[in-house]
Amino acid sequence: MLCGTARLGGHPVALAVMDFRFLGGSLGCAVGELITRTAERALADGIPLVLVTASGGARMQEGALSLMQMATVSQALAGLREAGLLTVSVVTDPTYGGVAASFATNTDVVLAESGARLGFAGPRVIRQVTGAALPDGFQTAEYLQRHGQVDLVVPRHALRGRLTALLAAADAGRRPPAVGPAPRPAPPPSAAPARDPWETVRTARHPGRPTTLDYLETAFDGFVELHGDRLGADCPAIVGGVARLDGRPVMVIGHQKGHTTAELVARNFGMASPAGHRKALRLMRLAARLRLPVVTLVDTPGADPGVTAEQQGQAAAIAENILALSVLPTPVVAVVTGEGGSGGALALAVADRVLMLEHAVYSVISPEGCAAILWPDSSAAPQAARALRLTGADLCRLGVVDELVPEPRPAAHGDPAAAAELLGRAVAANLAPLLAVPPATLVRRRRQRFRRFGAARSVDPSTVSVSVPAGPTAATTPRGAAGPSRAVGPGSATDATPRGAAGPSGAVGPDGGAAASGAAAPVRAADASRRRPAPGPGCDRPEVA
């Protein structure tokens, strides 16, 4: 072992480096003691810890005491995690057994050198015990990244740069926010002619529209992508990692589609699997430990609806993300950049500030899905789009979105560089005032923000009526009953419900969300005044009866 402190890229760090040349780098009592003392020194000095591993596993000659070192070192790392200090392991070739099953993989970030092998059981043991033929590249760093086990595969010559970026982010997270001039806000959207919602849907889906990776290349700097859910997969529909925005390190997480058919297929059209949501969750929690703000970029038609996704717990994965964001003690700014589809979008959008690009859409269901439920065929999708109130202007009026981010004309795909500049300025301007807010206050305000949506209030049933669209049997429908153009699913909201209630031609979807078009049901003026929160900057929210 070689242990000590150093500076890497100007940042102080504690180092523990294993040497495979002595007894195969095996983990014995002396090795465990040295690594533990190094971790304790990192804790005492308040600096990150970097471990470089090379080992065949626990030292058999020392029996159970060598086995105990896996727990001893892990406990020391737990102390660093509790203190919000970054831990990084650099896996070199080979790393097996008790080292792989403890401090090589339970750090905040796991980097692996190109070609390095990592595993609990070695290939010889696996063949002897199972008799199975091993796949090509089995247990190599590249294989493990594809299966979600390591954050990044890095050639040795590039390690310094990657480590420096991670250490810089961790260092900035521990410093109080710098007081400087407020970022220049993005200009408000120009008064463009009102567009048909279906046309906005088509614009939001344009294949040339910038993706998350495009924005990370232009609006942000120094992006270091982190891969995998550490449970077995690396979903390509979610990308995330550390980047800088106006010089400030942030954790950026977003849906990734693509521009060509091949890219879209490879990224599953931006539809995240449970592994994608769990990868996002891991990065959110890492950001909170390192006190980094979180920026999410939402662009998905919805979560992966496949059989495999359901078998792997899609609903639970989305639910866990929503819950985690509700209590995350660090600023969160979400931007709907293209499609914001249902729970797959909300899994990244429970935020302190929710922004939306001018020609993006955000909805409980796609227009095609809504049309399939309410009409016999998908040709009614344009009508459904108008009913769903899914445009930025609609959502600003509802209070769901805090600010619209303008796009260059005719839309973001026409000038991606200008779109990236506008997005970066808007995110920086909305993030700046959140940085100095105490974590407990952030969480309380975030909960209050979402609590007001659909908040219950007393309504006299005699003041509420629902009009059915003109037709052969047009009439006033009794409260709670389904009329000719009204579909009410089990557990749906009643007509008195302020959010999620279906108005004329409204539809309550399978998850209780609703769409409405035409004239809204009349309510008392006092209730209307409580219907919507106060307008935020960048949104024009006229009162809607």
What would the pLDDT profile of 9-49 be if each residue is shown by its tens digit? Answer: 999 999 999 999 999 999 999 999 999 999 999 999 999 99
Q: What is the pLDDT of residue 86?
A: 96
Q: Which residue is associated with the tokens 């009643």?
A: 494
Q: What is the pLDDT of residue 119?
A: 95
Task: Tell me if 422 sits within 8 A of 405, measured CB to CB.
Answer: yes
Helix (H, G, I), strand (E, B) or coil at 20: coil
Whole-angstrom Cα distance, residue 99 to residue 95? 7
Whole-angstrom Cα distance, residue 201 to residue 204? 5
Phi, psi of 112 (to 5 degrees): -135, 135
Phi, psi of 332 (to 5 degrees): -130, 125
Query: CA–CA distance from 474 to each of 140, 408, 485 (Å)?
Result: 68, 44, 10
Q: What is the pLDDT of residue 450?
A: 92
Angle between helix axes 29-45 and 64-82 (nearest 10 degrees) is 10
Whole-angstrom Cα distance, residue 267 to residue 523? 46
Chain segment 213-253, per-residue pLDDT in tens = 999 999 999 999 999 999 999 999 999 999 999 999 999 99
Burial of 261 (0-12, 13-18, 19+ CB in 10 A): exposed
Task: Tell me if 403 sits within 8 A of 430, measured CB to CB.
Answer: yes
Task: Tell me if 185 sits within 8 A of 178, measured CB to CB.
Answer: no
Whole-angstrom Cα distance, residue 515 to residue 523? 18
Task: Tell me if 14 sits within 8 A of 51, measured CB to CB.
Answer: no
pLDDT confidence band for 369 (50 / 70 / 90): confident
Q: What is the largest CA-CA distance in the chain?
A: 89
- β-sheet bridge partners, residue 297: 254, 335
Going by their DSSP bridges, the two strands 238-245 and 221-225 should be labelled as antiparallel
Count CA atoms closer than 13 A to 101's CA, side-chain side.
Answer: 15
User: Can the peptide bond before residue 94 be classed as cis, meaning omega within 30 degrees of 0?
Assistant: yes
Whole-angstrom Cα distance, residue 233 to residue 73? 27
Structure-derived torsion over alpha carbons of residues 475, 476, 480, 486, reported in degrees to the nearest 10: 40
Distance of CA 444 to the CA centre of its chain: 20
Chain segment 447-490, per-residue pLDDT in tens = 999 988 876 655 555 554 544 444 444 333 343 444 333 333 33
Whole-angstrom Cα distance, residue 382 to residue 380? 6
Residue 159 has pLDDT above 90, yes or no: yes
Burial of 456 (0-12, 13-18, 19+ CB in 10 A): exposed
Going by their DSSP bridges, the two strands 248-255 and 109-113 should be labelled as unpaired
Structure tokens at 395: 């959502």
- β-sheet bridge partners, residue 467: 476
Q: Which amino acid is at 300?
A: T
Residue 398 has pLDDT above 60, yes or no: yes
CA angle 7, 13, 16 (to 5 degrees): 115
pLDDT confidence band for 180 (50 / 70 / 90): low
pTM for the complete prediction? Answer: 0.81
With a CB cutoff of 8 Å and minimum separation 6, the contacts of 305 are 271, 314
